[in-house]
A and B are shown apart, each in its own frame.
Chain A
Amino acid sequence: MRRPVLARALRALALILALTAPAAAFEVEEQSRFGPDDAPRTLRILSTTDTVIFAPLLERFLADQPGLAIDYVVAASTEVYAALHDEAAAFDIAVSSAMDLQMKLANDGFARVHRAPGTLALPPWARWRDQLFAFAQEPVVAILSRAGFEGLPLPRTRSDLVDLMRENPDRFRGRVGTYDPNLSGAGYLFATQDARQSDTSWRLAEVMGALQPRLYGASGDMIRDLKAGRLILATNVLGSYAVPRLPPGGDGMVLEPADYTHVLLRTALIPRTADAPDLGAAFLDFLLSPGGQRLIAAAGLPAIDEAALVAGQHLRPIRLDPGLLVFVDPLKRRRFLDEWSAAMVRD
């Protein structure tokens, strides 16, 4: 009688442990392992960037580090934030395109200070408190289909888009797309920055809202639907995804709006909860090294380049400053999403 009771109790305990294990709490999209299986040390990276884009970087990094393997975990930016802020997940470096959430993590003391020649060489706007470091700058663009715009003048600014959509509602109805800020951290960041930057963005949202827009959780999906002909216009698409997939001369066209084009900084931080912060720091230094920056550029993520921002007069980098914290405030977020939905979603 005793043994089955004990066995049942042990099984129950194992079940409880499995249910409460923190690693399972946030939603992982993709998980891959690089390097030898029996490597004595493992660098754990939590990232919003697709594995395909980062793979060459990871392999190059491992080439110089025998005895090291990498766990590369991809999650949505809100999940990356939740994993570190609420669940104390043990990752050695966190890479995200959601600047506001990364800023919130650093501001609330979830990031470690790291000072190295590479980080100190970054311009001041590309690092914050030696805790948050930008390693790529990506314009936020609109994409459009030349075939879909046939017979219309090609737009240059948001106002042009608003006018075109107002004048040709039938052509655009159901064929415009943008991020759903409820689903995507990056989409929320772009929408809030748009709202902050100009009133035109609200007009654009209202005009699009009247045209039964399709809402997406990722840039890749919008590009795919544009190429498939389901969309003729999508706004707030990550340029780093769009440019390599929409070659010049094809049907798809990348538009950097001339009124303003936000530039997103893709940032990395070393979490306070890291098991091997030294590995995280080593990878960060590699990302910022000239070799790392070349590989990042080759992967389609433009490297940090102050001169390019100065030259492009329409480019507005989203700054790493405490203002980013405002839209992370839950009240502010609810209020913004309410307003956005009122403008955009009309059933």
Chain B
Amino acid sequence: MKAAAVPSGSIRRRLLLSMLALAAVLSGLLYLTVRGVAARAVEATQDAVLGSAGIAIAEELRGSEDGVEIDIPYTAFSMLGAVGQDRVFYRVLIGDVTLTGYADLPLPAEPPSGLTPFFYSTTFQDETVRIAAVERAVLSDGRPVSATVLVAQTRTAAEAIAGQLANRAALLGLGVFALAALLAVVTARSVLAPVDELAEAVRRRGPQDLRPVARAVPVELAPFVTALNGFMGRLSAALSRTETFIAEAAHHIRTPLAVVRAEAEIALRQAPDDATRARMRSVIRAVDDSARSATQLLDHATVVYRTDQRTDEDLDLGDLARSVTQALAPAADLKEIALDLVVGDGPLVVRGDRLLIESALRNLLDNAVKYSGPETEVRLTVAGVAGGVRVLVEDRGRGLGGSQPAALTARFRRGTNVDDIIGSGLGLTIVKEVARAQRGAFRLTDREGGGTCADLFLPAH
């Protein structure tokens, strides 16, 4: 009965999404910054050339008696070609009067002052132009007048360069994002690795492994592991108390039952009439069955306990089978059942807990004897097979009677055809749990020609 956890989102996904969002924001900021810086750098380059051209022209302003003359230097415009193939406009004003150039080239919003060029962008002849304005005082006919030089250039080349740089910036941003995404995946994996490892370690445990988790875990997981260990400790203690209680109870029942049986036998021998004798016999049989049930309860408790606290050693299954057969011989004799032990050649050694395996063999044989009719034969075969040892117990009893083998091995479940025989329903459960504890296999089938075949495989290691 495993209750699957209800997932409420994934830490990995949340971690990834937050890191990706952060990477996206940073990449976007990087792109905008690089693009902005590039655009400013390109503009600054164009401004520098425009400013130099404006100053070079302003340097050639000459005052004379006839007014102001200008000799525009060739290089002033030629250098503008360095920026790119852009249209060039210019305008030279003396006061408010255009001396030469494009008379409709827009003036700056405020007149430039000092020797530093003033830069502005505007639209001229349907194109965006960058303009450098240089102001200078010249002597015209002996009087100082203000002269303004405007040098303008379209921004096609500058925008093309800025566009290229923006594309580079976009590529850079994408590259940074891709790298960050990769790192995010790696980081999420490494951060969550301890959680995954812990989950895997807990998942890998056997159903009855209630030992505390001993592995080292990060501090964030320590409270969880401490709580888990505490919980398992309590569970283990509770289980152990229960098993101890059952064992105690079985012991306390078995001892008085032995006394009752002894007394009943004495009474049987001294019984004066057949009716009393028959009653005493049925008392003895009931006491036997009760003792047997108590033994099985004890066995089961032992098996459950030993599964956690087992002591493995190398065991010869042939020897074990012989001693178990001997122990059950009196019960078999009582029903005149022949116990036939067949021990195969070769090594029959498996590694396991002696009490567990002994208990499994005893219960198998005990079941066979119990459900077999008088004067039949029960055969116990121990044979070496690939990777381990196979134990077969075959009887000529009443078979499975249509019950599912899986159902028969559940706790306190008994076959549908055994109501006339008293049993606890624990025998096959014990066998199955031993098989599981030893990482072996247990199978129960109908035997050809009537009866049951119990097939237990135990691996060598």
Contact = CB atoms under 8 A, between A and B. Distances in A.
B77 A325 contact: yes
B125 interface: yes
Given A323-B74, A323-B81, A325-B77, A331 B88 contact: no
A196 interface: yes
A244 interface: no
A331 B87 contact: no
Interface in B251-292: none
A322 B81 contact: yes
B74 A331 contact: no
A324 B88 CA distance: 11
Interface string A319-341: 10111111101111001000000
B85 A330 contact: no
A329 B76 contact: no
Contact of B71 (A106, A321, A325, A335): A335
Contacts of B77: 321-326
How many A residues are at the interface, by size bracket? Answer: 20 to 34
B73 A331 contact: no
B73 A109 contact: no
Contacts of B125: 108-109
A165 B34 CA distance: 63
B458 to A, nearest CB: 86
A321 B75 CA distance: 10
Contact of A332 (B71, B75, B89): B71
Contacts of B72: 326, 329, 331-332
Contacts, number: 58
A107 B88 contact: yes
Contacts of A129: 85-87, 156
B70 A321 contact: no
Contacts of B71: 332, 335
A72 B73 CA distance: 37
Interface in B405-460: none
A294 B77 CA distance: 35
Nearest to B88: A322
B43 interface: no
Interface in A300-332: 319, 321-327, 329-332
A61 to B, nearest CB: 28
Given A322-B88, A323-B75, A329 B100 contact: yes
Contacts of B85: 124, 128-129
Interface of A: 106-109, 124, 128-129, 196, 319, 321-327, 329-332, 335
7 contacts: A107-B88, A109-B126, A321-B80, A326-B72, A331-B99, A335-B69, A335-B71
The 3 closest A-B pairs by CB, nearest first: A323-B78, A321-B81, A322-B88
Given A109-B126, A327-B74, A331-B99, 11 more contacts: A124-B85, A196-B74, A322-B78, A323-B74, A325-B88, A326-B77, A326-B78, A329-B100, A332-B70, A332-B72, A332-B100
